[in-house]
């Protein structure tokens, strides 16, 4: 289907929804699958490969910068923790280069992270983002780390999203494109949309961009028997590379946020909280919407229903990383009035601060 046909199918049962005519996209706003393919093809200083194929047969790219460190290992992370020695999984002594995994959107309509990561690739290759703006600290820190970049983790969902810019669009349209429609044409809504999984069969009139082509929401796969090849590839990468920090890029309708991860150690939760405080201060200083405080570190499961064990939780338990979700701003109405430049700044400041934070907080699981 063409992008126009997809949009028509999504809107067919609700003529009240209309896509307002967006202004032409600036050159720096690179969020389509073709943009990712072009950015990856231009990688010269890093190494690019296809990590996996999506359910729909599309490429999921991985770009790496910095040498891989072969740290001694004698156990998987879970067993190492059972042996009261995480260093049995990876002997991190605080002197190794930090490893950071930047995980592009697993929800196809949350494409702000795709643009952010394509601009990071530009900085890695040229020192400048796609606006021609220099990010000297980010570029320098890239040289001091191993950075793993997956520009887009759900190309199936992105292909199903006919929109490239949500600024000024109605939140109802955003939800309809994201979550899909019921047999009667009504939109699925959060959180009910997560009560049917995978999203297949007679319950689906149009499949939302949340999902891959098999109807799997990659944030909520079955971790003990993954349904999606995408999920298996992400977990395998985490195990093999043992990142110190993993950020999963999302977007929502309010100010950007660093989300706490459920079912991880308190030391991980406190690290997420500390980073959130730092990032929000940078956003405020930059004149961007900023929350007053991140979600506090606290134990999980005190109330019913309990929080979900989601992709960020699973990635931590695969490799011990500080894994969390960052929510950018989608720009839908109602919501903060921002420009595409503002949204790119939200993403670039996140990466700039995360790299510096990773260098300042080396992981030490073993003595010297």
Boundaries of every domain in the chain: 3-251+262-360
What DSSP character marks residue 366?
A: S
Gyration radius (Cα) of the chain, Å: 20
Which phi and psi (to 5°) does residue 305 adopt?
-75, 150
pLDDT at 1 over 80: no
The 10s digit of each residue's pLDDT in 121-149 is: 999 999 999 999 999 999 999 999 999 99
Helix (H, G, I), strand (E, B) or coil at 163: coil
Report the mean per-residue pLDDT for the chain.
93
User: Tokens standing for 115?
Assistant: 């643009």
* C-alpha pair distances (Å), 272 with each of 94, 298, 300, 368: 19, 11, 15, 26
pLDDT band per the 50, 70, 90 thresholds, residue 8: low
DSSP string of 205-260, one letter each residue: SEE-TTS-TTS--GGG--TTS-S-HHHHHHHHHHHHH--SEEEEEEEESSS-EEEP
**Sign (positive or negative) of CA dihedral 149, 154, 156, 161:** negative
Q: Identify the pLDDT of residue 279.
A: 98
pLDDT band per the 50, 70, 90 thresholds, residue 68: very high
Q: What angle do CA 183, 186, 192 make, to 5 degrees?
A: 90
Helices 266-285 and 340-360, axial angle in degrees (round to 10): 130
The 10s digit of each residue's pLDDT in 216-238 is: 999 999 999 999 999 999 999 99
- At the fourth CATH level, the homologous superfamily of domain 3-251+262-360 is Zn peptidases (3.40.630.10)
Strands 322-329 and 245-252: parallel
The whole-angstrom separation of Cα 184 and Cα 267 is: 47
pLDDT at 41 over 90: yes
* Burial annotation 165-187 (CB, 10 A radius, 16+ → b, else e): bbbebbeebbbbbbbbbbeeeeb
The whole-angstrom separation of Cα 234 and Cα 32 is: 21
């Amino acid at each position: 289907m063409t992008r126009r046909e997809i949009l028509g199918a999504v809107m067919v049962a609700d003529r009240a929804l209309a896509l307002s005519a967006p202004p032409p996209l600036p050159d720096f706003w690179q969020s389509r699958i073709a943009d990712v393919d072009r950015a990856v093809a231009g990688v010269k200083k890093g190494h690019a490969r296809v990590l996996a194929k999506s359910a729909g047969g599309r490429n999921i790219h991985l770009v790496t910068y910095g040498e891989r460190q072969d740290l001694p290992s004698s156990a998987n992370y879970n067993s190492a923790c059972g042996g009261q020695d995480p260093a049995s999984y990876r002997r991190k002594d605080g002197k190794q280069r930090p490893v950071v995994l930047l995980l592009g959107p697993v929800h196809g309509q949350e494409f702000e992270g795709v643009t952010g990561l394509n601009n990071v690739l530009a900085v890695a290759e040229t020192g400048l983002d796609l606006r021609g703006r220099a990010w000297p600290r980010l570029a320098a820190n890239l040289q001091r780390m191993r950075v793993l970049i997956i520009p887009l983790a759900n190309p199936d969902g992105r292909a199903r999203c006919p929109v490239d810019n949500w600024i000024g669009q109605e939140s109802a349209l955003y939800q309809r494109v994201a979550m899909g429609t019921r047999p009667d044409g009504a939109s699925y809504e959060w959180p009910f949309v997560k009560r049917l999984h995978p999203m297949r069969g007679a319950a689906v009139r149009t499949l939302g961009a949340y999902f891959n082509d098999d109807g799997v929401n990659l944030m909520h796969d079955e971790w003990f028997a993954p349904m999606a090849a995408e999920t298996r590839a992400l977990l395998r990468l985490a195990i093999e590379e043992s990142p110190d920090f993993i950020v999963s890029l999302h977007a929502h309708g309010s100010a950007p946020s660093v989300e706490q991860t459920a079912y991880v150690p308190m030391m991980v939760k406190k690290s997420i909280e500390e980073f959130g405080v730092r990032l929000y201060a940078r956003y405020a200083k930059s004149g961007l919407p900023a929350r007053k405080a991140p979600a506090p570190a606290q134990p999980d499961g005190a109330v019913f229903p309990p929080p979900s064990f989601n992709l960020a939780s699973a990635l931590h338990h695969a490799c011990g990383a500080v894994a969390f979700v960052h929510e950018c701003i989608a720009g839908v109405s109602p919501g903060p009035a921002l420009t595409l430049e503002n949204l790119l700044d939200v993403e670039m400041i996140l990466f700039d601060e995360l790299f510096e934070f990773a260098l300042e907080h080396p992981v030490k699981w073993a003595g010297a």
